[in-house]
Amino acid sequence: MKRENLDKLKQECLECKKCPLGETRINIVFSDGNADTAKAILIGEAPGENEDKTGTPFVGRAGKLLNEFLKKAGISREKDLYIINTVKCRPPKNRVPTDTEKAACENYLLKQIEIINPEVMIFCGATALKSFYDKKIQISKIRGEVLELEIGGKKRKCIPIFHPSYLLRYHSLEEGSPRDLMLKDLTKIKNLIS
């Protein structure tokens, strides 16, 4: 039933022209991961060029780095996660999606969350965080915190983490570095879904 509902929703996305992004996309980027076994939903910002070409989220440089961190934390991308973005189509030049574009996709996003019904929601980066939480707060101030938020009419555990594209600028793994904090946050998530 879960798979049927997601397939129906994906078909709606394929036909969507609610905002200008629907005119410029190559593919919709609906999801990745296993809807049946996922214990957490990871929400990213928006598809980039590689994602638009493949139809799969987090497949470029940032996606490869995310995969490395997931593996180090013992989280299986294929079994533990269902990966989506705040919007299903690539904004031009990989810019941040506008509030109008996010609003056009919001129903799809909320339906995916409702169908998967995750134990934990992971806000990957500031754009994802600000879609559900205080728009003024900086992700660096609350990354790694477990937030109890009402989403889709249900209280959910939500954890903001750095976006892997941010981590591409940092290479140090020393204590307190962004990469160290990312690994600690993912390890906390692993413990929550184990």
What digits encode the pLDDT tens for the residues 142-191?
999 999 999 989 999 999 999 999 999 988 889 999 999 999 999 999 99
CA torsion angle 116 122 128 132 (round to 10): 70
pLDDT tier for residue 134 given thresholds of 50, 70 and 90:
confident
Q: Is the pLDDT of residue 124 over 90?
A: yes
Among the listed residues 106, 7, 96, 114, the one whose alpha carbon sits nearest the alpha carbon of residue 46: 96
Q: What is the pLDDT of residue 51?
A: 97
Q: What is the pLDDT of residue 48?
A: 95
Q: How far apart are CA 135 and CA 17, in angstroms?
A: 26
What digits encode the pLDDT tens for the residues 48-79?
999 999 999 999 999 999 999 999 999 999 99
Sorted by where each starts, the structural domains of the chain and their CATH numbers stand as: 2-193 (3.40.470.10)
Q: What values do phi and psi take at 77, rounded to 5?
A: -60, -35
Q: What is the pLDDT of residue 173?
A: 85
The residues, any chain, with a CB within 8 Å of residue 118's CB and separated by 6 or more, are: 38, 39, 40, 41, 82, 156
**Residue 26 or 172, more confident:** 26
